[in-house]
Each structure stands twice: as structure tokens, then as C-alpha cells.
Amino acid sequence: MRKIAVFASGSGSNFQAIVDAVEAGELQADIELLVCDKPGAKVIDRARHFGIPTYSFLPKTFASKADFEKEIVSELQSYGVEFIVLAGYMRLVGEVLLKAYEGCIINIHPSYLPAFPGKDAVGQALKANVAETGVTVHYVDSGMDTGPIIEQVRIPVLPGDTEQTLQQRIQKAEHQLYPAIINKLLQKDTVGGILH
């Protein structure tokens, strides 16, 4: 089975959906490591509950992004990680990680990209008064949610929607879409070649 790492920064609802899919046999993967840039985040407790090793770090204690990414790559390699799944990781991936895992890092974003990249995509959609938004799974590059798109789902913005109600519907879609797409990608013959 393919060895993956999940990167997250917050409560870890997408991390939970990925774990649940693995437990249910819907996602053929071994989650080897959770990487978190916020040592007190709830996602760390979720990982520990399932016996998944964690690596957490404080970015400000490192001289540069390259420094902490070198340490992350070292951790990933020590677990034999082949593929990285970003699940609410609120940090741009830098050159060190991109080079080490070229074509093997994906992200899920709560909008129908290219609309509303970056932080607070749900709030951005509501402020723009659009009729629909969505969910996007994409490969990660050096930009802010700019990598090649793998799969997208449209989600209507309903009259009277608040950030909370729209977020709940988006997360429900994310929790179904992401494990399925991860599984599809991991079933390809080779991560390093076909997934580019």
C-alpha cells in the first residue's frame, strides 16, 4: 500500500475523513505521518487517537522556510512517505518540499478555482454574492492554489447562507470527494511518473 503523509493546521475534519476512508477500506493507503505547523491544533489529538505518528513544528523557531522544510523532508523520508496530502494546511509549500515530492503533493480548496484562492474562500464567495462556489482538488505548485486542477465539484450558494451553513455544505462535499480522489491517484502505476 502507498505510504502517505497528511499536512494540516487546524481541527482536522478532512484528516478525519481520510482516516475514516482508510478504516472503511475505501482508501487503499497507509497514513504514515501527520505534519502540523501548529503544535496545539486539534488535528494532533485526532492523529494520536488513531495511533498515527505526528510531527509538529513552530515555523518561527526556524531561520527560514527552507530550514523547516528540510526537517520535514527528513521526517517524511524516515517514514517512507511517497505522497503528500494537504488537508487544511495553511502554509504555502516551498521549493524544498516541492522538489523532494515533485508531482506528488495535492491540496483541497473550498472554492471552484480559480475563483477565491487563498484564505477565507467561503467568506470571499459570500462577499462576492455569487450563485455558486465549490470544492477543488489540485496539484500543489509554488503559487497560492494555482496548481493543475484534478477534480472539482460545484456547490450552490443558497439564499440566507452564512459562512457557517455554506462551510458545512462545502466540508460535506470535501469529505466525500477528497478520499475518493486520493484513492484514484494512488491506484496509478507510479506516483513519480503518471501522476504528473
Q: 132 and 120 in contact (C-beta within 8 Å)?
A: no
Q: Is 142 annotated as a binding residue?
A: no
Does position 165 have pLDDT exceeding 70, yes or no? yes
Catalytic annotation, pick one of 49, 109, 175, 196: 109
User: Global pTM?
Assistant: 0.93
Which of 29, 78, 83 lies closest to 192, judged by CA? 83
Res. 26 pLDDT band, cuts 50 70 90:
very high
**Torsional sign, CA 34, 40, 46, 48:** positive
Q: Is 183 annotated as a binding residue?
A: no
Cell readout for 22 is 482508510
Res. 66 pLDDT band, cuts 50 70 90:
very high
Q: Is 107 annotated as a binding residue?
A: yes
Look up 109 and say whether it is catalytic. Answer: yes
Mean pLDDT of 42-62: 96
Q: Is 13 annotated as a binding residue?
A: yes
d(CA 31, CA 18): 9
Predicted local confidence at residue 193, as pLDDT: 46
Does position 76 have pLDDT exceeding 80, yes or no? yes
Q: Is 12 annotated as a binding residue?
A: yes
Q: 47 and 14 in contact (C-beta within 8 Å)?
A: no
Which region, left, alpha or beta, applies to residue 25 given φ > 0 means left and ψ of -120 to 50 means alpha? left
Order of strands, edge to edge, in the sheet holding 83-86?
A: 54-56, 29-36, 2-8, 83-86, 105-109, 132-139, 149-156
Mean pLDDT of 91-115: 96
Counting residues of the chain whose pLDDT is more than 70, the rounded percentage is: 96
Beta carbons within 8 Å of 177's beta carbon, 6+ residues apart = 108, 135, 137, 151, 153
Does position 52 have pLDDT exceeding 50, yes or no? yes
Q: List, in order of start, the domains of the chain with CATH numbers.
A: 2-108+136-150+171-194 (3.40.50.170)
Does position 189 have pLDDT exceeding 60, yes or no? no
